[in-house]
Structure 1
Amino acid sequence: MDDVALLAVDGGNSKTDLALVAGDGTLLAAVRTPGCSHQRLGLAGAMSSLRSGVAKLRTAAGRSGAYGPAELGVFCLAGIDLPVDDDRVGAALRGEGFAHGLEVHNDMFAMLWAGSPAGWGVAVGAGTGLNCVGLAPDGREVRFPSLGRISGDWVAGGRWLGVRALGQAIRAGDGRGEPTELQRAVPEYFGLSDPMAVAEAVYTGRIEERSLLALAPTVFKAAAGGDPVARELIDSVVEEIVNLVGVTVRRLEIADLAVPVVLGGGLLHSGDGMLLDGVRAGVLEAAPKAEFRVLDAPPVLGAALFGLAKLGAGPEAAARLSEQLTYDSLGAVGPAELVEPPA
């Protein structure tokens, strides 16, 4: 294998993590760059972002002038949801010449491979959005379209939770909804007078709607204090996660196995006991032997471990890479933060 055997990429809406790895598992360089989602940037914009990221990675490895294509490129990207995404994104990546061989997968598989030493199981990512994938020991996979309301994804992740929190606060104020602590806490977070002032700021663009994601901790706090409206919001997220995992294990016919269930994303990394306990209890009803892990490694590690296995590297290479490819090596403090400052 070439000394630059592997290019591993975990690309999302807000950030892209990239790593260059030698055939023996040595990390040559790792960087974090802006997002590369083709759904948000368009295909040309996504490729432009990836070109910039790979150039930065090459420079970090000290190979900007001499680096050629890697032996294998593993791209785990947000928005690889349908076969049409496999085809058009794969074709665009092949045209870039980043690597001689190419593997293109949904970014949830990177989370799964990073969190499951067995290389199979179920992964749930609950951050800005919500998604799930499953992989059986024999290689059969399950994934979901994850296209929002048009694909039946009515309950999502942190952004959904924030929007609903604002909506419930407004309804409490005008009499359409039940009283809730959110009526006070939501405008307080943004330094505004009342929920309608927040809604007006979002409507006029003074606050970006994506900033409502930052209300998730406010919802957790209100629920922990006994607020029934906030609790119902969290219960909705729990129910959707449990439904996704249950459907996945049934479709893969692995419900009777000790299924690794990897939990990641800002909501699940928050450590909120009500959310995590609800998810664990619900999943165990569907898969009684399920084994849970809240992912503490960057998902790009999963993309890289998958790539090393494809190249025939052994366990020593995987262990070496697992020690070296960390959030610290990416210059990141940990999983993506839930809280974004108000615009």
Structure 2
Amino acid sequence: MPDLVVGVDGGNSKTDLVLADTEGRLLAWARGEGTRPHTDGMEVTAERLAHLGRRALAESGLAHPTPVAVGAYFLANVDRRAQERSALRQLTRLGVAERAVVRNDTLAVLRAGAPDGWGVAVVSGAGINAAAVHPEGRQARFLSLGDITGDWGGGLAVARAGLGAAVRAGDGRGPATRLRRDLPAHFGLASVESVALAVSSGEIPVPALHGLAPLVFATAASGDAVARGIVVRLGDEIVAMVIALLRRLRLLRTPTPVVLGGGTLQNDQVLLRDHIHARLAAEAPLARPRVLDVPPVVGAVTEALLTAGASATARRRLREAIADRKPPPPGAVDACDTEPTQAPAQPRVR
């Protein structure tokens, strides 16, 4: 009988959990809120992840507790070894799996997009981070603590920059931009100044600004110079991260996969993609950038399958099943049967 595995990609704005078996069957796909142990605490974060796993088991028709052989948890805001150890202790205490693995979420993107498990990965979702793995296993990462460690990027930064530029265009400090017209309607308000006041008062939570990022990208695509400047700035930050990691691992002279993942990189943003590719071609010509073509949770569940000893056929089967499945909405569980005419084999219960 096949074992059960769980793969988790925990981002700033959402967390995806896939429940599968070692034959590559996709049993359930659950989506919950973001993984933010730096604000919510590691204990609360682990409890939420355990709850998400229980939801997936229930929706797939399996009783709780049904043993999970391996759980691979790739989590945003878990950027240092001490944080990984803390998350592992909490998840082990909750019994989420017989064997749990905890990594930063950038490594899920790398595992999903680099077939040999090494290279550079950039995650630009609500926030931004990057990491690299040398073919010999050495790693290079960033502190990733926000402004105090020099970080800028991701959808929230793009949105904030767009809103700020629109306000500056109105008060005379900056050039004209269509962002003044395009952004307020997202919140049903009359002006960007009204949006800024609502954020300042707490009426609009800061994370909700993330919804403005697609509007900034769309305005940039229409030719607006100010919006284009914001998108180009994001591309420059991504290139700076990639080149820094290649240099630190001495990979500038080695053909190296560079996997670009996360919402702002996987949404067919042509201007952003082309800018990144052009700069890397000029400054790191042996870098091999590609945009990830599957959800990052594929990397997490692939790691779980590898740890459980599943075959390459099973890993490929599950990858294809996730790629073909529409992600569930936040708070929902998508119960999946990849072969409707055939009942899945029951997991081995010890």
Partner residue, 2:82: 84
Amino acid corresponding to residue 155 of structure 2 in structure 1 = G
Q: For 1:327 and 1:32, locate their aligned partners in 2 and report how far apart those are by CA, in whole Å.
A: 17
List alignment gaps of at least 5 residues for structure 1.
334-343
Change (3 A) 1:17 1:253: same
Is 2:99 the counterpart of 1:117? no
Amino acid corresponding to residue 290 of structure 2 in structure 1 = R
Is 2:53 the counterpart of 1:54? yes
Say which of 164, 167, 179 aligns to 1:167. 164
Say which of 148, 151, 158 aligns to 1:150. 148
Contact 1:30 1:329 in 2 (8 A): no
Say which of 208, 211, 235 aligns to 1:211. 208
Q: For 1:100 and 1:16, locate their aligned partners in 2 and report how far apart those are by CA, in whole Å.
A: 21
Q: Which string of whole-angstrom CA distances, capped at 9 and with x for unpartnered residues, describes residues 267-297 of structure 1?
A: 1123222111111111223431332322221
Q: How does 1:97-116 map to 2 (within 5 A)?
A: 97-116=95-114
Give the 3-state SS of the residue equivalent to 1:263 in structure 2. Answer: strand
Deviation at 1:239, TM superposition (A): 0.8
Give the 3-state SS of the residue equivalent to 1:178 in structure 2. Answer: coil
Is 2:328 the counterpart of 1:331? yes
Change (3 A) 1:240 1:96: same
Amino acid corresponding to residue 12 of structure 2 in structure 1 = N
Q: Which string of whole-angstrom CA distances, capped at 9 and with x for unpartnered residues, describes residues 136-185 of structure 1?
A: 211111221211112211x2211111111111111121112222222332
Change (3 A) 1:201 1:24: same
List alignment gaps of at least 5 residues for structure 2.
331-350
Partner residue, 1:96: 94
Partner residue, 1:198: 195
Q: Which string of whole-angstrom CA distances, capped at 9 and with x for unpartnered residues, describes residues 17-37 of structure 1?
A: 222332333333332233343
Say which of 128, 137, 140 aligns to 1:139. 137
Q: For 2:94 and 2:324, locate their aligned partners in 1 and report how far apart those are by CA, in whole Å.
A: 27
Partner residue, 1:341: none
Q: For 1:183 and 1:287, locate their aligned partners in 2 and report how far apart those are by CA, in whole Å.
A: 37
Q: For 2:82 and 2:6, locate their aligned partners in 1 and report how far apart those are by CA, in whole Å.
A: 23
Q: Which string of whole-angstrom CA distances, capped at 9 and with x for unpartnered residues, describes residues 67-112 of structure 1?
A: 12x2222111111111221221121112112222221100111111
Partner residue, 2:28: 29
Is 2:57 the counterpart of 1:73? no
RMSD of the alignment, in Å?
Answer: 2.2
Q: For 1:195 and 1:66, locate their aligned partners in 2 and report how far apart those are by CA, in whole Å.
A: 50
Deviates further, 305-314 or 126-135: 305-314
Amino acid corresponding to residue 271 of structure 1 in structure 2 = D
Q: For 1:24 and 1:217, locate their aligned partners in 2 and report how far apart those are by CA, in whole Å.
A: 38
Change (3 A) 1:332 1:211: closer
Deviates further, 176-185 or 242-251: 176-185
Q: How does 1:10-29 map to 2 (within 5 A)?
A: 10-29=9-28
Tell me the number of residue pairs that the alignment of Structure 1 and Structure 2 aligns: 330
Change (3 A) 1:36 1:168: closer
- Normalising by structure 1, report the TM-score: 0.88
Q: Percent identity?
A: 39
Q: Which string of whole-angstrom CA distances, capped at 9 and with x for unpartnered residues, describes residues 190-213 of structure 1?
A: 343332122112222332222222
Amino acid corresponding to residue 117 of structure 2 in structure 1 = G
Is 2:239 the counterpart of 1:242? yes
Q: For 2:235 and 2:69, locate their aligned partners in 1 and report how far apart those are by CA, in whole Å.
A: 41
Q: For 1:33 and 1:164, locate their aligned partners in 2 and report how far apart those are by CA, in whole Å.
A: 27
Deviation at 1:329, TM superposition (A): 6.7
Contact 2:35 2:77 in 1 (8 A): no
Change (3 A) 1:191 1:289: same
- Normalising by structure 2, report the TM-score: 0.87
Deviates further, 114-123 or 281-290: 281-290
Q: For 2:180 and 2:220, locate their aligned partners in 1 and report how far apart those are by CA, in whole Å.
A: 13
Contact 2:19 2:27 in 1 (8 A): yes
Higher RCO (CA < 8 A, seq sep 6+)? 2
Q: For 1:72 and 1:79, locate their aligned partners in 2 and report how far apart those are by CA, in whole Å.
A: 22
